[in-house]
Amino acid sequence: MRTKTATVIDIEWPEFGVGERPAKVTLHELTQRLKLVRAAMKVRRLTHMLVYGDREHFANLTWMTNIDPRFEEAMLIVDLDHAPLILVGNECEGYLPHSPLFNNGDMRSELFQPFSLLSQPRDKSRLLKDILSAEGIDEGSNVGCVGWKYFDYAEDQDGKNAIDLPSFITDHVRALAGYENVENATDLFMHPGYGFRTVVSVHEIAMFEYSNAKSSEAVKNILTGIQSGMTDYEVAQLCQWDGEPLGCHPTMASGDLPGLCGPQGRTILEGDPFSFNICYWGSNICRAGWVVEDEYGLSEEGRDYIEAFAGPYFEAMNIWFSELKVGTKGAVLHDAIHDRLPFEKFGIFLNAGHLIHLDEWVSSPIYKNSDLEICSGMMMQVDVIPSSPTYGSTRMEDGVVIANAQLRSNLKEKYPDCYARCQARRRFMIEVLGMDVPEDVLPLSNIPAIVPPWFLSPNKVIGLR
């Protein structure tokens, strides 16, 4: 592959369309997920699995049931033989019909009011220990607990037994089954090498392509509408949020505001660095640059922003994309960034890309010396975050799916319009931006790798020549 040099080019922003919202998850898909979970339970010799969810940590539970516990906790109890039982609080009961499993009688439910908010009624529930016991959890059980984190030996030498469920649940399970018979099983859902949610189905690709398209259209509205003198609240209104569930809080960091803060009422001034994101389930689109018309709006020491910072970043990301294909080891993608962008200058601290799903960050196969391979069906967040006190930042944070020929063919057959949009985005990256994008890559964002360094001149973007 010949060496390419980053430069600023003029473009007309492409229009890829958003398409219609795909149908919600089906009973068949949820049933297949339950079978997958039970097969893994047998391999690990688990008699029961507890899948916990709350407002912030909903994704594993939602993946299994299509229930999103929006106000309180919920927990699914799975054994090998019976319809699973979901415990819900007062305000989650009304959400149960969102689950095809529940509607078909393939998932039982029980009101467990201690999951409800404080001071709400508590007079209609059995004790948790009695519920768990009635589900067959006793001294002969082996129980896997699924929260939102698992722990390796370097983090916790007793990582197998380090449970991230609330103590008021874990204590009762251990009292019934014994300490050694209760283990952390979150890795079955989230481990980057084998977790259930680290690869997506054809239907999920279509759902998340819709989400990425909407998020990126919101970001495009901001990039083409921001003006000096607007408050960050006014900038946030440009995204035209229409009720999509958020995967994380939108950020609007300008001037000296911290990078992960939301709108604060600050007035955005010409010459400010500015970074922001819009994150719907399955997508997190982020851009970072400067509120200027060109490099002359920067301080004198920062006017080589393109040559010294944003350009090398873009060139490194092109190498990263060129390696993003089935079978590539995570270490190759890590090295593609860190060999070219030294920490002393670019400050890249987190992984050079990570997996995304309903939650904004699942896990990542990309880290130093990683021998985990990129698999067909992985949905990757192009989340490589440079930072400099002189140059601020730059970003092309979009979502992509890595898909082999069979998965691409299945997508083309079942969701031809979605497939066509992905291919149009890939052609744009290659033909307009000059990037090297393998055929395994399905770009999901409507602003694929579009990086305008000067937010007041949005048609000037970085490309390769």
DSSP string, 391-432: TB----B-EEEE--HHHHHHHHHH-HHHHHHHHHHHHHHHHT
Q: Is 15 helix (H, G, I), strand (E, B) or coil?
A: coil
Question: For residues 112 and 116, what is the distance between their CA atoms, to the nearest angstrom?
Answer: 8
Q: What residues are paired with 143 via a beta bridge?
A: 48, 182
Q: Is 117 within 8 Å of 86 (Cβ atoms)? A: no
Structure confidence at residue 3 (pLDDT): 79
Q: List where CATH 3.40.350.10 sits in the chain.
A: 45-184
Crossing angle, helix 311-322 and helix 330-338, to 10 degrees? 160
CB neighbours of residue 320 within 10 Å: 21
Q: Is 382 within 8 Å of 399 (Cβ atoms)? A: yes
Homologous superfamily of 45-184 in CATH?
Creatinase/prolidase N-terminal domain (3.40.350.10)
Question: For residues 215 and 327, what is the distance between their CA atoms, to the nearest angstrom?
Answer: 29
The conformational region for residue 400 under phi > 0 = left, psi -120 to 50 = alpha, else beta, is: beta
Structure confidence at residue 260 (pLDDT): 74
Structure confidence at residue 70 (pLDDT): 87
Structure confidence at residue 1 (pLDDT): 60
Structure confidence at residue 163 (pLDDT): 97
Q: List where CATH 3.90.230.10 sits in the chain.
A: 6-21+197-464
Structure confidence at residue 11 (pLDDT): 97
Q: Is 149 helix (H, G, I), strand (E, B) or coil?
A: coil
Structure confidence at residue 209 (pLDDT): 98
Question: For residues 22 and 208, what is the distance between their CA atoms, to the nearest angstrom?
Answer: 9
396, 406, 321, 398: which is closest to 366 by C-alpha?
Answer: 321
Torsion sign, CA atoms 243, 244, 248, 254? negative
H or E, element range at 442: strand 441-443
Q: How far is CA 98 from CA 69, 103, 269, 281, 418, in A?
A: 11, 8, 45, 17, 25
Q: Is 398 within 8 Å of 285 (Cβ atoms)? A: yes
Structure confidence at residue 2 (pLDDT): 66
CATH architecture of 6-21+197-464: Alpha-Beta Complex (3.90)
Q: Is 316 within 8 Å of 337 (Cβ atoms)? A: yes
205, 207, 195, 269: which is closest to 232 by C-alpha?
Answer: 269
40 token code pair: 């893994």
418, 227, 393, 243: which is closest to 313 by C-alpha?
Answer: 393
Burial of 347 (0-12, 13-18, 19+ CB in 10 A): middle
pTM value? Answer: 0.95
346, 455, 448, 356: which is closest to 397 by C-alpha?
Answer: 448
327 token code pair: 């079978």
Cβ neighbours for 108, distance < 8 A, ≥ 6 positions apart: 83, 84, 85, 86
DSSP 238: T
DSSP 78: E
Q: Supply angle C-alpha 368, 372, 376, rounded to 5.
A: 130
Question: For residues 268 and 457, what is the distance between their CA atoms, to the nearest angstrom?
Answer: 16
Could you tell me how many residues make up the chain?
465
- Grouped pLDDT means (10 residues each) for the chain, 465 residues: 88 95 94 98 98 96 96 97 97 95 98 96 96 98 97 88 97 98 98 98 97 97 96 94 89 80 90 95 96 96 97 98 98 98 96 97 98 98 95 96 98 98 98 98 98 98 97
